[in-house]
Structure 1
Amino acid sequence: MPDSFQTIQSIGSKALLDKLSGFDSFKNSEVVKGIGDDAAVITKSKSSCTLLSTDTYVEGVDFDPTYTPFQHLGYKIVSAGVSDIYAMNGKPVSMLINLAGPNKMSVQMIEYLYKGIYAAGKEHNVELVGGDLKANHANLVVSISVQGEVNKKALTYRAGAGEGDAICVTGDLGGALAGLRILMREKKHWKEHGDESIQPELGDYQFVVKRQLIPEARKDLIETFKEHNVVPTSMIDLTKGLVHDVNELADASELGAQIYQAAIPIAIETRQVADEMQEDVDRYALFGGEDFELMFTLPEKKVEQFVKHFNDFVVIGRMIDREEGLKLQTAEGDIISFDELS
């Protein structure tokens, strides 16, 4: 008898991935790490490894062409791809782009998409070395595969944090969701008025809109790690919201985590959008995603040393015993579990 029908939504993407990776498959001795981290790790030489990562963007699911310029989309796709390599403490080297586009797209649109791809490639020293172009009947689908490299001594996984390690994040959080909220509001206004000549008023929202449309992967952090011979105990890029990604980091390291709400870095521009929308700005940071900042762990003594070389990060919590679970200390001092946040 076949298994009863299950929707993907009913089990979630993580459970589906666990099912797919649970099959008896061929194992290659050169593969150091397969499914389960930001990038796969393959032995390259005695001292270095190759890193491989891939992302797919689907029109109507991952981006809306109504408010996403194709040049920005190209840049964002590359930022997402190289961010996975940086999350392993590696250096991106080359990329492949696969594109399936509908006939409603013009040659000029595709040219703009690739202008963004090449601009981001130049920013991160990544060469576009190939890919595939196909027709698609409905929506635009773009996928990117990035190849990178890392010294074995510098290689950093999601696993590896120790109890008591400080949890650190770069930049600020929630800005990408704030930008998305503004863009969605402007689209709604445009649809309600039905006038294609209406242009959105985004002058006061440039910071958050840029955080959504043209995110910057944190090459600067990885370069500083290398320059000062610092290797984090664990690391992940922030793509699905702080709560989700802290959970991933803690689970991989078989630990719990305590986050300090008052320490979460949120830009004033993000707070202003949340106030305007009459929404909780902390939820932007906790659940927003797509900030493409890096979260890493270090022993407290190393944090004190590293801050002398790189100051665009803050300590937002610490790793604790697994039995204590995942907790948030509110600004008022109350302790609540992550389960209470959803």
Structure 2
Amino acid sequence: MSESFQTIQSIGSKALLEKITNFESYKNENVIQSIGDDAAVIKESDDSLTLLTSDTYVEGVDFDPTYTPFHHLGYKIVSAGVSDIYAMNGNPEAVLINLAVPNRMSVQMIEDIYKGIYAAGKSYSVEVVGGDLKANHANLVVSISVYGRADKDAITYRKGATEGDAICLTGDVGGALAGLRILMREKKFWEEHGDESVQPELGDYQFVVKRQLVPEARKDLIESLKEHDMVPTSMIDVTKGLVSEISALSDASELGAYIYQAALPIAIETRQVADEMQEDVDRYALFGGEDLELMFTLPEKKVEEFVNHFNDFVVIGRMVSREEGMKMQTGEGDVVSFDDLS
């Protein structure tokens, strides 16, 4: 092997992204935000901005058809796509869906995917306007592109937070990972016993399994922000875990963050799964991802005002100076660095 050969694994996806975006390229004067946020932002008019985002899902990497019903898959990919638009404080309007389909899949399977896609379109008021369909030799690959809009005065980026801003988080976190752990356990049981007549007992885990298979994007937060003329100083959706998302917000604003572990919103159903698995539920919340909740920052006075209109969020910390770094106060009162959490 040539000494110049460098594996992707040796540098990681973040460093790879930096390498492929570091080339000198053409710059369009209408592009306000390119790579580096939840969606690209393009100037449409003096008052309106276009938002564009895309995601790709590969069978065996991003989803397992053994325990992922195809209609749930269709719904989830749309939810994840529109969540990126919501993270910019925008409204999604249209989606494009591309499928690369292996021969072993049936027409009914593809129909099920689109049943989920169109169901999500109704939930989020988004129209499916096209896409591409072609054959693939091995695994199913689905990609989605979402088009949306935001008002110039309401657009919210990952950057923009100021020192002292409260870090706010909608809903609860860790549930999607808890659901995945249950589904993986049931799959293992099924593989070991080899009896197709044995069906998993998921009734007690309905909450967390739903959080994994059909998470809901937080359209309600965006509607409330608009209704009450509230614009966050920064925002991001929770798809990679809190540690990753808090770090992204802080880096974009060139600040640090101080988080309270005791304030992390974790559902009782998620705690029960972690106890059953004999695992640390806080790690579910900090590193799980895929919950599609929104994390945003507001000045403390704005928090006090907004909580009177929208109460499905909690304050989990505050933005601090860059020099103070990224830290979390544990439930026991100790203070640990984010670097010590991994």
Shorter-chain TM-score category? over 0.9
Q: Structure 2 stretches of 5 or more lacking a match?
A: none
**Residue aligning to 1:236:** 236
What is residue 308 of structure 1 aligned with on the other side? 308
Q: 1:189 is matched with which residue?
A: 189
Aligned length: 341
Work out the CA distance in 2 between the residues paired with 1:10 and 1:247.
Answer: 22
Segment drifting more, 175-184 vs 18-27: 18-27
Write the distance in 1 (CA, Å) between the matches of 2:153 and 2:14. 29
The answer to whether the aligner puts 1:34 opposite 2:45 as a matched pair is no
Distance 1:94 1:68 in 2: 25
1:267 equivalenced with 2:267 (yes/no):
yes
Distance in 2, matches of 1:324 and 1:180, equals 35
Equivalent in the alignment of 2:296: 296
Q: Which ranges of 4 or more aligned residues in structure 1 deviate by more than 4 Å?
A: none
Residue number in structure 1 paired with 2:75: 75
State how far apart, in whole Å, the 2-side matches of 1:207 and 1:9 are. 35
Per-residue deviation, residues 232-273 of structure 1 (Å, max 9, x unmatched): 000000000000110000000000000100000000000000
Q: Residue in 1 aligned with 2:337?
A: 337
Q: Which residue of 2 is the match for residue 132 of structure 1?
A: 132
| 1:120 match | 120
Question: Which residue of structure 1 lines up, in the alignment, with residue 5 of structure 2?
Answer: 5
Displacement of 1:67 after TM fit?
0.1
Q: SS of the residue aligned with 2:159?
A: coil
Take 1:11 and 1:95, find their aligned partners in 2: how far apart are those partners? 33
2:99 partner SS: strand
For 1:245 and 1:8, how far apart are their aligned partners in 2?
A: 22
Per-residue Cα deviation, 1:82-105 (whole angstroms, up to 9, x for no partner): 000000000000000000010110
SS in 1 for 2:216: coil
TM normalised by structure 1 equals 0.99
SS of 2:131 mapped into structure 1: strand
SS of residue matched to 1:99: strand
State the TM-score, normalizing by the size of structure 2: 0.99
Q: Using the TM superposition, give the Cα deviation of residue 57 of structure 1 relative to its aligned residue in structure 2, in angstroms.
A: 0.3
Q: SS where residue 315 of structure 1 aligns?
A: strand
SS in 2 for 1:296: strand
Give the percent of matched residue pairs that are identical in Structure 1 and Structure 2. Answer: 79
Q: CA deviation at 1:8?
A: 1.2
The offset of 1:3, in angstroms, is 7.3
- Please show how residues 44-123 of structure 1 align to structure 2 within 5 Å: 44-123=44-123
CA distance in 1, matches of 2:338, 2:91: 33
Aligned to 2:20, what secondary structure does the other structure show? helix
Q: Distance in 1 between matches of 2:127 and 2:256?
A: 39
Structure 1: how far apart are the matches of 2:3 and 2:26? 25
Q: Tell me, in whole angstroms, the C-alpha distance in 2 between the residues paired with 1:15 and 1:306.
A: 38
TM-superposed deviation, 1:172: 0.2
SS at match of 1:199: coil
Residue equivalent to 1:256: 256
Q: Which amino acid aligns with 2:313?
A: F
Which amino acid in 1 is paired with 2:205?
Answer: Y
Q: Distance in 2 between matches of 1:77 and 1:209?
A: 16
| Whole-Å separation in 1 of the counterparts to 2:76 and 2:128 | 15
CA distance in 1, matches of 2:112, 2:128: 15
User: Aligned to 1:289, what secondary structure does the other structure show?
Assistant: coil
Instruction: Report the alpha carbon displacement of residue 218 of structure 1 after superposing the two structures with TM.
Output: 0.1
CA RMSD of aligned residues (A): 0.7
Query: For residue 62 of structure 2, what is the amino acid of its counterpart?
Result: D
How far apart, CA to CA, are the structure 1 residues paired with 2:10 and 2:283?
24
* Equivalent residue number for residue 173 of structure 1: 173
Shift of 1:14: 1.2
